[in-house]
Structure 1
Amino acid sequence: MTDEQRKSVALEYLKAFDNGGTTSTGAPILDLFAEDAQVYFPKWGLAEGSSQIGALFAEVGGTLRGIKHHYASFNWHFTGGDTLVVEGTSHGEHRDGPWRAGVPEWGAGRWCDVFEIRDFLVQRLFIYLDPDYAGRDTARYPWLPEPH
């Protein structure tokens, strides 16, 4: 696969997440993953295989009322192999409240995904972000400003 082909699989995944778990062809997001794939999500842990990945997406996705990734500002990093990294921003609504990258600057909405893609399937996806989308977990961080 070329870097651009891997990038197209990663974009299809992100757009499917924005579309409630449905790809551009109408297939479920899980169709983008190998049967033995791994997905890591903070505060959830490591999901291995389709069943656990489905549970992760259902549980995390079930907390989101909507999400929109900001595709125009993605920063792509290619390794020349099966791995690619994408940094980006998003906004949306979590069951605990809305978020938008940069509002506040320390809040949720900035993320980094590390993909390993072979044979047009995601083999491994490690997601790095702050899962406190609504910014409620502030008492434990004394460097954060007082709420206004």
Structure 2
Amino acid sequence: MSSTATAELDEQRISIVRRAFELIDAGDPALLELYTDDVELYFPKFGFGRGKEDMAEFAQRLWADLSALEHDIDGLDIMVAGDRIIVEGREWGVTSDGRRWPDQRVSTGRFCNVFTFRGTLISSVRIYVDPDFTSSHEEKVRQLHREAK
């Protein structure tokens, strides 16, 4: 593939990743159209999933405790490494019982996602984030947070 074609594919994939975050924030099931049928998923506490059914189950489980989720799409730090798009960013939201996060004390809303592509479809997404959005896992906060003691 020529360097021009590679650059164009990279830009197309970056646009797809940005669109994925828009669809995630909207809770739009059209997100599944961006994935291969055998897409692989990793998310802390959920573990590993494979296929669109597992992706849909993950979304259902995540949204069961959220009433709002938003990513700073304009502020994403995006890196390209071959077929991978690595994204660092910030997110915030509201739980279903009305708690806003991050708290900026323990929870900072930072995440890193690694998207792997097959052509222009996402074949893998690994999400690295602390799923304790509201810092409610007190035992671990007390154990690990430098100012919580």
Contact 2:83 2:116 in 1 (8 A): yes
SS of the aligned residue for 1:134 comes to coil
Aligned to 1:88: 89
Residue 117 of structure 1 aligns with an amino acid whose one-letter code is F
Contact 2:42 2:125 in 1 (8 A): yes
In 2, Cα distance between equivalents of 1:72 and 1:50? 27
In 1, Cα distance between equivalents of 2:35 and 2:50? 11
C-alpha deviations, 1:89-112, integer Å up to 9, x for none?
Answer: 011112352103x712x3141000
- Which one has the bigger helix percentage? 2
In 1, Cα distance between equivalents of 2:96 and 2:139? 20
SS of the aligned residue for 2:32 comes to helix
Query: Structure 2 length normalisation: TM-score?
Result: 0.85
2:20 aligned with 1:13? yes
2:104 aligned with 1:103? yes
- Give the percent of matched residue pairs that are identical in Structure 1 and Structure 2: 27
Residue 136 of structure 1 aligns with an amino acid whose one-letter code is S
Number of aligned residue pairs: give it: 139
In 1, Cα distance between equivalents of 2:109 and 2:64? 17
RMSD of the TM alignment (CA)?
Answer: 1.9
Aligned to 1:121: 121
In 2, Cα distance between equivalents of 1:11 and 1:41? 19
Unaligned runs of 5+ in 2: 1-5
In 2, Cα distance between equivalents of 1:143 and 1:51? 35
Residue 54 of structure 2 aligns with an amino acid whose one-letter code is Q
Aligned to 2:3: none
Unaligned runs of 5+ in 1: 23-27
Contact 2:21 2:73 in 1 (8 A): no
Q: Following TM superposition, by how much is the alpha carbon of 1:52 offset from its aligned partner in structure 2, in angstroms?
A: 1.2
Query: Structure 1 length normalisation: TM-score?
Result: 0.85
Aligned to 1:53: 55
In 2, Cα distance between equivalents of 1:103 and 1:132? 13
Contact 1:108 1:134 in 2 (8 A): no
Residue 85 of structure 1 aligns with an amino acid whose one-letter code is I
SS of the aligned residue for 1:132 comes to coil
Structure with greater Cα Rg = 2
C-alpha deviations, 1:15-48, integer Å up to 9, x for none?
Answer: 10111125xxxxx211111000101111001110
Q: Following TM superposition, by how much is the alpha carbon of 1:61 offset from its aligned partner in structure 2, in angstroms?
A: 2.0
SS of the aligned residue for 1:139 comes to helix
Q: Following TM superposition, by how much is the alpha carbon of 1:146 offset from its aligned partner in structure 2, in angstroms?
A: 4.3
